[in-house]
Amino acid sequence: MLIGGYEKNILSYNYSNSLQEIFKTDMPSLMEIKEFERMEQKSLGAFVGVVTKSMDATSRNKNRYTKVILEDGTGSLTTFAFSDTRAHLMENKKIPKEGDVCVARGTKWENNLRLVDLSPQTHRIFIGLADLKNYEGENQ
């Protein structure tokens, strides 16, 4: 988990930095989720947050899609990946799991973000050896 996730795990909240502060150096265009509502329809935005829900599903029209919900401490954002974007994410194994920190880039589509790209951050910080062993056991 990232430093923010580490603090949240230990203290139940992020004490020193928000996710935006951690990632803003490399991605100056990152926005807080609370800013999503003010975006124009079809405009491009980039957000970072913790995945609270990640699911793959089929629509009534039999089209496959991926839904990921992110939270960043300022709000919650529902994102969707359809057709080509979804296929690209599946092919590159970029579908995040709950608890992962993830950068999402996409266009505003009604009250959701239609994904262009999704980048789960895979760096982890382990508090003790038991955490490492638990992680290794879950990922085998």
Residue 68 near residue 118 (C-beta atoms within 8 A):
yes
pLDDT tens, position by position, 80-112: 999 999 999 999 888 999 988 899 999 999 999
pLDDT greater than 60 at residue 20: yes
Beta-carbon contacts of residue 46 (< 8 Å; ≥ 6 apart): 27, 29, 30, 31, 103, 104, 105
Residue 98: domain span:
3-138
Residue 12 in tokens: 């139940």
Given this model, what pLDDT does residue 55 score?
A: 95
- Give the pLDDT band (50/70/90) at residue 2: very low
Segment 64-88 shows an average pLDDT of 94
Q: How many domains does the chain have?
A: 1
CATH code for the domain of 31: 2.40.50.140
- Chain mean pLDDT for the chain: 84
The strand pair at 44-58 and 112-121 is best described as unpaired
From residue 5, alpha-carbon distances to 10, 32, 35, 63, 136 in Å are 9, 17, 22, 34, 18
